[in-house]
Each structure stands twice: as structure tokens, then as C-alpha cells.
Amino acid sequence: MSTARLTINLQALASNWRALDAKTDVETGAVVKADGYGLGAEPVAATLAEEGVRKFFVAVAEEGAAVRRAVGPGPMVAVFSGHMEGDTELLRDHDLTPLLNSGQQFQRHQQALPGHSFGIQLDSGMNRLGLEPADWAELRPQAEALNPAVVMSHLACADEPDHPMNKQQLSAFRGMTDGMTAPRSLAATGGTLLGPEFHFDFCRPGIGLYGGMPFAEAKPVVTVDLPVVQVRDVAVGETVGYGNSWTARRPSKIATVTAGYADGLHRAIGGGIDAFAGNQPCPVVGRISMDLITIDVTDLGFEPEKLRILNGHQTVDDLAEAAGTIGYEILTSMGRRYSRGYVE
């Protein structure tokens, strides 16, 4: 097989959810947006539903329809973008709960789907989505009378535990919601790890489920195996890849594997990462190109058939650090060219 192989360990995913759930005394939901962070929303959601998850979160209504098919009737499937123009049929037909972000969305929802479940999203300081404090104060009596399924906000700096923004947003969220009977939620993965005062009625981890930081205890969920197309001898002084960016300082054996920035392995990663033959690291050399990566296998002593670039030794966050980005982007950029498999 010439395509790279992406393997998703659903047992590890479930284990990560259980570990995060154990850190709180309240209910734990799950964020499965962006096609389950690139790993397949339907198998991811189905696995988590079997673990007992009853609150799922997606970015847009179309994602919610796929999750509903996976989890069946019963669990809440909430939509961060709220009730957008044209969403009414999807929200109704798949029993989705829009998280309303403005007075306009609130009115649209009540006019189009009176009596249908909804939640409220508040802006506690991130200035991205949600009702501003003044707008919420005006709308709150009307919204509370209709029993929202959840009232929530989102932390901007939860991956930095000592950042003053965390306490600032916590105070703002309390000020906007104290006295409400509706379930409240503020914590995603980072907020879950900040401690009980951030947990409210339920937490909703995302990246930590998939093996990413800031959940350092997470088990790796994804492995990526790259087939070797060719191994060549490179003499001292010869260069490898675009821009002559790597020069051999010894007689070398260079393996070319099938994957590249078209597969989410960003060109910016460059050097500083390895691919593995079993437990033995082999340095990536030269520039990552669209479809190919070159790897120094001189010290292996044999020509491998494949090399693993993502595993328990090298995580999505290691690749992200090398690329100057975050693990979220690495995961969600994994392209459709991978041959995919699931471990259950």
C-alpha cells in the first residue's frame, strides 16, 4: 500500500474521557467538532456514547446531524454556532440544541422552532462568540422563562493555569449566571484541569480526549505510519530536498516516505522531529514537501518498509511545537488521503 496509514485507538480515547471525568464530581460531556478533531465524528461519538457521554458539542449544524446519527436519540447534541439562517430544518430533524449567541439568534429560534431545545452562549471576556453582559441582562428574563438546556461560556487562557484571565472570566461568568436554574458550563479540557470552581454543572473536554495538551496524562490516540517508497545512498556533500536545505556530513541512507504537507504534516515542521522504526528514532531531513518526506535511516542497519511519525514517543504536540503551531491544528489537518483504521 502506497498511502500513509492513520490508526485511531478508540480504547485510548475512551480511557482519556474516563480520566478527565474522574477529575470532576460533575457530569462530563465531549466536544466532537471538526469531524471529531479530524478522527471521524461518528466512530468517536459512538465510542463516547457507549462510555456514558450524554452531552456532545459540535461547531455547526451539519456536524450535529452526523453526530446524531452516531449516538441516536437521547443525548444532547449542541451547536456552538447557534441558530444560523438556514439551520432550522437540520436543528428540528436531528433534534439539535443551538447555543444562541445573540438576541437576533434568540428571536430567530423562537419564531422558527418555538418549544425546541436551545442553550445560551455568553461572552465572559474572550470576545469571540456569545451575548455581551448588557445584552444578556436585557434578554435573561425572557430566556430563563423558556428553560434553556445550558448556559455556557468559553475560557480564553485555560491552558495557562496562572493566567489572570481565568479568574477574570470565572468572576464574569458567575456574575452573569448566578441564581439561574439552568445547567451551567465553563470548562473545556483546560478548565477541567483548573479545578472544581471552574466545573459548574458539567465539563466539556475536547483536545484532551484526543491525546493533546494541556492534558499531560492523556494516552496517545493516533498513530501514523508512512510507507517507504525508496531508500537511496547519499554521499558526503550531497544535498536532499527543496532548497538544498540538508547536506550529508557522512555517507548516508535516506528513505523517502509517502506523506507531506497535503496530509497535515506541515512544511514548517522542518528538522527537529523523527520518524520511528520500532522504538528507534530516525531524523527527518530536508524540507517536507507536498507528498514526500525524507528521513535519515543510516543508523538503522536495514531498509525499513515503513516508518512511524506519530506515536507514544512523538505526539501531536511535539509535531506542533516543531511547526510553531498547536496540536489541534495538526490533528484537524490530517487529510483524507490517509488509509484509516480503528482499534476498538
Residues catalogued as catalytic: 33, 242
- Do 225 and 340 contact (CB within 8 A), yes or no? no
- Looking at the chain, the number of H-run helices and the number of E-run strands are 11, 19
Q: How far apart are CA 309 and CA 48, in angstroms?
A: 27
Measured in degrees and rounded to the nearest 5, phi and psi for residue 226 equal: -115, 115
R_g over Cα of the chain? 23
Supply 108's cell numbers.
Answer: 430567530
Measured in degrees and rounded to the nearest 5, phi and psi for residue 216 equal: -65, -20
Q: Is 230 exposed, middle or buried (0-12, 13-18, 19+ CB in 10 A)?
A: exposed
Supply 168's cell numbers.
Answer: 477574570
User: Is the C-alpha dihedral spanning 243, 245, 249, 251 positive or negative?
Assistant: negative
Query: CA end-to-end span of the chain, whole Å?
Result: 23
Helix (H) / strand (E) element for 57: namely: strand 55-58
- Do 341 and 5 contact (CB within 8 A), yes or no? yes
Task: Give the residue among 99, 106, 218, 199 at the shortest CA–CA distance from 155.
Answer: 199
Q: How far apart are CA 100 and CA 151, in angstroms?
A: 9
**Amino acid making up residue 20:** L
Per DSSP bridges, beta strands 222-234 and 292-296 are unpaired
Query: What is residue 23's three-state secondary structure?
Result: coil
**Amino acid making up residue 133:** P
Q: Label residue 74 left, alpha or beta by phi (over 0 means left) and psi (-120 to 50 means alpha).
A: left
